Amino acid sequence: MLARRTATDRSELANEGRRDIGHRRLVRWRETLAVQAFFLPTVLSFVLLVAVPSILTIALSFTNFDGYSFKFQLVGLSNYSALFSDPQITASLYFTILYAVATTLIVTIIAIPVAVIVNIHFFGHKLVRAVFFFTSVPSLLVLALVWTYILSPLGSGVVNYLLYGLFGLGPVQWLSENHLAQLSVIMVGVWAQVGWHSVLYLGYLQSVPSDYYDAALVDGASALRRFFGITVPLLAPAMTVSVVLLMISGLRVYELPLALTQGGPVYSTYTVTQNILLYGVSNGKFGEGSALSAVFLALVIVVLFGTLGVLRYRERRLQ
């Protein structure tokens, strides 16, 4: 080494430089690998728990796989055509979409004014906030089970008890008449979600600089004009988040109708998710279950990107 150093000439210097660059490259490559390794757990869980099963579902939807025997054949689109002639499935598609759209609309219409109001410092505003928010903390399944008692026409049914006591109205069959059952499921869904979404809007409202309002107050804008002229446009990004979350959770609804009505009366509150589990897991009709899953996935993706597209467009126009 020393001998070589003493005999240093230009080419030797260049050589060392090259070795140095090579070394640095190796270090950088190692660092890159180390950083990329941090993706591994998330990517692995994505591949094993989401990607592979989803692809298998789509593949199975073209077969007559029954879950046990591996002697299954390709059956083309017959699982799909079977879906749309099955009243239990068409009913569930209808109700799932009805529930998703109705809860999204009603929750949004209630949550924004509630957020604006609880942002005002009236007496008890913190208590009101806490109470509204609390309804979305417990398990929806447990709450829905409680609501079956509340809506019951029997002794436990507070709603009927109050209707009779206040207006003398006879027991209403909230959960055993088709349209009333659908309405009940939707209303309980709204009750359980509206608090969480008003807190979401409240979070955004509090990050809105109050200069806007000061300026409007000085200009003498009325409360209503301030609401539609300032608050609603400023909440546009919050609305995107909230509406997308509502639509997705609405399409995925499962526990609520299961606990309230078990899907009855006569399919009127069956959901897509309930049918997927019934066909795919309980009844071993994997082909049909998978086909329904694939249709459902397409529905969720279309709704998700459709809603996102519309809301983003609206956001851009408002700002």
Partner 1 sequence: MTAASVGSIKAAVRVEARSRGPNGRRRRRWAIKLLLSVVMLALAAGAALPFYYIVVNTFKTPEQSAISPLALPSPFTFENYRNVVNSVPLLQSFGNSAYVTVLGVLATVLFGSMAAYAMNMRRTRANRFLRLVLITALAVPFQVTVVPLYEMMVKAGLVNSLSGLVIVYMAGAVFCFFIIDGYMSTIPKELIEAAKIDGAGVSQIYARIMMPLSMPVLATVAIFQTVGIWNDFLVANTFLSSSSKYTIVLQVYSSVGEFTTNWPSFMTLTTISLVPMVVFFLIIQRKIIGGLAAGAVKG
Instruction: Give the three-state DSSP class for 196.
Output: helix
Whether residue 103 contacts residue 193, with contact meaning beta carbons closer than 8 Å, is answered with yes
Tokens describing residue 211: 């200069």
For the chain, give the longest Cα–Cα distance. Answer: 111
Q: How far is the CB of 96 from partner 1 (least distance, A)?
A: 11
Residue 63 dihedral angles phi and psi, to the nearest 5°: -125, 175
Pick the closer one to partner 1 by CB: 85 or 207: 207
Q: How far is the CB of 14 from partner 1 (least distance, A)?
A: 28
Q: How far is the CB of 17 from partner 1 (least distance, A)?
A: 22
Distance of alpha carbon 308 from alpha carbon 304, whole angstroms: 6
Tokens describing residue 290: 């998978």
Pick the closer one to partner 1 by CB: 268 or 271: 271
Pick the closer one to partner 1 by CB: 8 or 262: 262
Instruction: Give the three-state DSSP class for 116.
Output: helix
Q: How far is the CB of 10 from partner 1 (least distance, A)?
A: 32
Pick the closer one to partner 1 by CB: 18 or 306: 306
Q: How far is the CB of 3 from partner 1 (least distance, A)?
A: 33
Pick the closer one to partner 1 by CB: 14 or 117: 117
Q: How far is the CB of 128 from partner 1 (least distance, A)?
A: 5
Q: How far is the CB of 255 from partner 1 (least distance, A)?
A: 5
Report which secondary-structure segment, H or E, holds 52: helix 52-60
Pick the closer one to partner 1 by CB: 13 or 301: 301
* Residues 200-229: b if buried by 16+ CB within 10 A, e if exposed: bbbebbeeeeeeeeeebeeeeeeeeebeee
Tokens describing residue 187: 């209303």
Tokens describing residue 135: 């309804």
Tokens describing residue 83: 């879906």
Distance of alpha carbon 110 from alpha carbon 107, whole angstroms: 5
Distance of alpha carbon 291 from alpha carbon 286, whole angstroms: 8
Pick the closer one to partner 1 by CB: 14 or 281: 281
